[in-house]
Amino acid sequence: MIDIIWHLLIGVVVSFAGSIPLGTINLGVVQTTVSVNLKAGLYFALGATLIELIYSTIAIKLIGVLMTQTHLDSIIRMVSVPVFLLVAVYYLKKEEKEGESRELRKGRSFLNGIFLGVINPLQIPFWVFWGSIFMSNNWISKDDFLLNVFIGGICIGTILVLTLIAFLSHSIAAKVNLKSQFVNKLIGYVLIVLGVYQLFDLLYKFI
């Protein structure tokens, strides 16, 4: 029982801490909450967490295989750079459609969360890195069941942060009249920064 609690707790803590820094998913929750409503923001968070579940499962379950793929991180970064920049352009040019109902946008929020989660595969090397550290130091077991508990903790940590962000952005938007157009621009600029950073990091490794 202690092992189960430990694996769950360490998954929650690391995922919670790793999800706090400003990123596309966090801003996506803010944008959805501001432009639609709180419920839509939570749907978005759920969609993003589903992808976190898939990526973290791939990383943790296949950690032995993935660690032998020395170029995996570079390949993921190569794919991420153009994707980040293209999506950045989309958000910078995105405008609210006046004829589109909030119910329709709310219904798409879950899919939008999945989409932004999918285009952020950097979660895989992130969890390969931390998973290898935890396993090498015997902080987590290689037992299949306990690894599932750890992955469950990862998902709980992610959804906790995103839910907190949704509630905070909902509260702040109500007080300061935060505009979704501003958040769209912010997401676009963050994606550009991430894309450029990944590009320079790649160039640095190959030079």
The amino acid at 132: S
* Mean pLDDT value of segment 193-198: 82
Answer whether 183's CB lies under 8 Å from 27's CB: yes
The amino acid at 105: R
Q: Give the pLDDT of residue 36.
A: 84
Which residue ranges make up each domain of the chain? Answer: 1-206
Kindly state the tokens that stand for 78.
Answer: 């190569």
Alpha-carbon torsion, ordered 129, 131, 132, 138, to 10 deg: 150
SS3 labels along the chain:
CHHHHHHHHHHHHHHHHHHCCCCHHHHHHHHHHHHCCHHHHHHHHHHHHHHHHHHHHHHHHCHHHHHHCCCHHHHHHHHHHHHHHHHHHHHHHCCCCCCCCHHHHHHHHHHHHHHHHHCCCCHHHHHHHHHHHHHHCCCCCCCHHHHHHHHHHHHHHHHHHHHHHHHHHHHHHHHHCCCHHHHHHHHHHHHHHHHHHHHHHHHHHHC
Residue 112: which of 6, 11, 33, 1 has the closest Cα?
33
- Confidence band for 104, pLDDT divided at 50, 70 and 90: low
The dihedral through the CA atoms of 159, 161, 164, 166 has a sign that is negative
pLDDT tens-digit map of 23-66: 788 888 988 888 888 999 999 999 999 999 999 999 888 876 66
pLDDT tens-digit map of 109-164: 999 999 889 888 778 888 888 888 888 888 888 888 999 999 999 999 999 999 99
pTM: 0.81
Q: What is the rounded CA–CA span in Å between residue 77 and residue 195? A: 9
Residue 92 has pLDDT above 90, yes or no: no
Q: Give the pLDDT of residue 193.
A: 85
**Highest-scoring range by mean pLDDT, 94-98, 128-132, 157-161, 188-192:** 157-161
Kindly state the tokens that stand for 166.
Answer: 């949704």
Residue 32: which of 155, 177, 169, 192 has the closest Cα?
169
**Highest-scoring range by mean pLDDT, 69-78, 86-95, 154-163, 170-179:** 154-163
* Mean pLDDT value of segment 74-90: 79
Q: What is the rounded CA–CA span in Å between residue 68 and residue 62? A: 10
